[in-house]
Amino acid sequence: MKKRLMKIEEFFSRVKDTFRRVSSPVVQFFARVHFHPNVLTIISFFLIAISAVEFARGSLRVAGVWYLLGGLFDVFDGAVARASNRVTKFGALFDSTLDRYSEFLIFLGIGYYFLS
């Protein structure tokens, strides 16, 4: 069992390293042009809000694409904050708060879809 857990941890570590390597040019671009990480957080929130509307309308595949895109921006905001040395307590709280609102909207959209 312990050997199996090590393989799983190794797999996720490789996936994480690969994602960082692939996304690094995008993160560096945002940091180089001084794009504020909180703007990425807001973009992520609005993309996920669009996803929630699409879920409510029953366009599940379209909603999934919007949700993945929003999640990608949510990953980039923290990476850009670290790369541009703009890590703040407010930014962390802002990101976390909008993440909870995003989750609420997604559940609301999915709930509406199943109730209608």
pLDDT at 2 over 90: no
Residue 24: alpha-carbon gap to chain centroid: 15
In this prediction, residues 80-90 reach a mean pLDDT of 95
pLDDT at 7 over 90: no
Please give the share of the chain, as a percent, with pLDDT higher than 90.
84
pLDDT at 1 over 80: no
CA distance 100 to 110: 15
66 near 50, Cβ under 8 Å?
yes
Q: Note the pLDDT of residue 8.
A: 81
The whole-model pTM stands at: 0.86
Angle, alpha carbons 49-95-13 (nearest 5°): 100
Q: Note the pLDDT of residue 104.
A: 98
